[in-house]
Amino acid sequence: MWTGFRAVLRETHRLRGRHLRGAPAALALALALVAPTATYAQTKVLCLGDSLTEGYGVEPERAFPALVEKKFVDLGKDVRIINAGISGSTSASAVSRLRWQLRGKPDVVLLALGGNDGLRGLRVDQTRKNLDEAIALAKSSGVKVLLAGMKLPPNYGPEYTSDFEEIYPALAKERGIALIPFLLEGVAARPELNLPDGIHPNARGHEIVAETVFSHLRPLL
C-alpha cells in the first residue's frame, strides 16, 4: 500500500508542478488510500445463564443459544450468540460473570439466572438483589438487557412460588428492560419435551425455547 501511496504523491507533485486541475483529485486519491477502513460490526448477544442455557443433556449445537443464532443467520443477519451458561449457577454469580464477559463487548445480554436459587429455596430478596445488580451493571455499560423469567414447581408452596416469580416482571418494569415472562413456556411439565429429570429440556424442548427467545430478542437488535 505504501508503495502505491508514494507513487500517487509523486504524481500529485508532478501535476502541481504543471499547474493542472487534476492535482486536487490526485491528492484526494492519496488520502483515500491511507484512510482507515470502517470497522466490521457484528452484533453480539451474551446468554448468561445456568444449565438451561448451557444445554445440559444435549449437544451444544442443539442448545437454544446455538439455535437462536442459526435463526438470525438464516435471515441474513450477522448475529453471534455467546453461550455463557454454567450448570449449577445461581444469581450470586451474575455480577462477577457479567463483569468478565463485558470484556467481549456484547450488545445485548440475555440474563437467564435464578432458577437454581428457587429450586434451592434461597431467599427471594437476595435473588432479586443479585439480578438487579447485574442489570444495573449491564445498563451502565451501554448493554441492552433481556431478562428471562423463571417459575417453580407448585410443591414449593404458594407464597414462596408467587414471591419468586414476581421478581422478574417487577425488575423488568422498574429497570425498563425487555422481559421473557417464562423461559420454558410451552416446555415445562411436558415429559415429551424434557429429559428424564423433568427439569431440563431435551432437543425438541430447546427448539421451542429458541423460538421463545428469538421472538423476544429480535426486536432488540
pLDDT of 102-161, one tens digit each? 999 999 999 999 999 999 999 999 999 999 999 999 999 999 999 999 999 989 999 999
Q: Residues 53-70: pLDDT tens digits?
A: 999 999 999 999 999 999
Q: Is the dihedral of CA 85, 90, 93, 99 positive or negative?
A: positive
Reported pTM? 0.82
CA dihedral 78, 80, 81, 82 (to 10 degrees): -170
Q: Which residues are catalytic?
A: 51, 197, 200
Q: CA 13 to CA 26: how far, in whole Å?
A: 9
Grid cell at residue 192: 415429551
Rg (CA), the chain: 25
